[in-house]
Structure 1
Amino acid sequence: MAGNKQQKTIPTVYNMSSSKAREVLWALEELADTGIKYNVVNLLRRGADTYKVLKSQFPLGKSPIVTLEPVDGEPEVTYQILPNVLTEARLILQFISDHYTDGVLSQKFANGSLVTKVDNVVTFEVIPTMLFFPLRQLTLLMVMPIRNHFTNDLRVIYQILEDALSEERPWFSGKKLGLADFNMVFPMDMAIGRGYIELENYPKLAKWHYTVINRPAYRRALEKGGPYNLSTFA
């Protein structure tokens, strides 16, 4: 992922702890060595003013949000709905690719199917925890078969992802790191952190994730973004 375009906007990432904003920070950190500049506003998921701050930037109040500051009198950028405001991690990453790098980076299957299934499992795990005893235990008995159904569905997706990787194509974007990998990291981090995958059954996928989390830019993103715990979403 090479970044050599002249930077016409400086992005500010509104990063909520334990959110998909982390993949945006990782992508920008991968470009940091090329001179790309950006800012971060860190917000705690359970912070008193988090929703208020996010909503002040975009009506939905969801992280990630990126605002753009034009450089040297450049005109406003309307990439989605509001000028100089970007939402949705997938589209933010596409903007980063289009405006801060010298190549078009493909996204592929990796994110959409996986994140939906993982979110389903999380939903049916969280619902019982929001209830009082004994309703909590009764609800747990009711939803666990559904939770297990979605967990089993994940195995098919893991195998597809496993088969997509090889020595010649170690990244989901192909021979080089790209958009598919940035989109992929959050659902994989969540699946691993919450115990939804037995990585020993998917050695190529395990190698991909190990390579990602040991990249210097990924580690810098963790440091700049603050808390990132997808088990407790702290």
Structure 2
Amino acid sequence: MLTVHHLRISQSERIVWLCEELGLDYELKLYTRRSDNNLAPDEYKALHPMGIAPVITDSDLVLGESGAICEYIDRKYGNARLSPGPESPDFAGHLFWFHFSNATFMTNGMMALVARQLGGDEMPGFVADRMAKGWQLADARLAETPFFGGQNLTTADIMMGFNLTTSRMFGGADLAPYPHIAAYLKRIGERPAYRRAMEKCEPGMEPKLD
């Protein structure tokens, strides 16, 4: 049985959304962050040596890392229908945004978060520059295509979605300068699978779509 272990207000919401888009039969287990430090509880940390979200279990398999989990689920259970193949004109674009999501875009945000937590009066210039370029690049992509993955929703959108929505609860860009991202999030918020996913993994929380 495929089980998604979701730490509340974390990137593991991606995996719930993916399962809903694929129409899979899966078990969802919710974990609440600790009240003293806002980190994962001990029972979540015990799931995987890294002790961070996301994590899935599938029979005897324990798997972490958003990208690896998305590829595993889409290939094993979704017949790779959310991953354009080499014959698709969207192949290269999909790959770029799938990997850019955590390798660069989220890394920029994490650097900014650490800078704020260290109490600096201003964000280091190179961090601010990297963040601005990332948001500008994302907005430019969505000016050209309806989805990060191209003409259709792919796992690249599953990966990027968290960065543009729930992640901003920890601090992030105002959407006003990015009209194409704002329009994209409106479209995502209208998807039945996304609404089901957020209702299941974050009950009582309004998705951060604007």
Q: TM-score, normalised by structure 2?
A: 0.79
Look up the match of 1:184.
Answer: 160
Alignment of 1:185-204 (within 5 A): 185-190=161-166, 192-194=168-170, 196-204=172-180
What is the RMSD of the two structures over their aligned residues, measured on CA atoms? 2.7
Name the SS of the counterpart of 2:63 in structure 1: strand
Q: Which has the larger radius of gyration?
A: 1
Kindly provide the amino acid, as one letter, of the partner of residue 18 in structure 1.
Answer: I
- Give unpaired runs (5+ residues) of structure 1: 1-9, 70-82, 128-139
Kindly provide the amino acid, as one letter, of the partner of residue 61 in structure 1.
Answer: G
Bigger drift between 185-194 and 116-125 goes to: 185-194
136, 146, 161: which one pairs with 2:138?
A: 161
Change (3 A) 1:16 1:192: closer
Alignment of 1:1-234 (within 5 A): 10-32=1-23, 36-46=24-34, 51-69=41-59, 83-103=60-80, 105=83, 106-109=94-97, 110-111=100-101, 112-127=103-118, 140=119, 143-146=120-123, 149-166=126-143, 169-190=145-166, 192-194=168-170, 196-226=172-202
Change (3 A) 1:123 1:190: farther
How far 1:37 sits from its partner (Å)? 0.5
Identity among equivalent pairs (%): 25
Name the SS of the counterpart of 1:40 in structure 2: strand
Kindly provide the amino acid, as one letter, of the partner of residue 64 in structure 1.
Answer: P
Distance 1:41 1:148 in 2: 40
Contact kept in structure 2, 1:64 and 1:89, CA below 8 Å: yes
- Give unpaired runs (5+ residues) of structure 2: 84-93
Contact kept in structure 1, 2:10 and 2:53, CA below 8 Å: yes
Q: TM-score, normalised by structure 1?
A: 0.71
Distance 1:185 1:125 in 2: 23
Q: What is the total number of aligned residue pairs between the two structures? A: 191
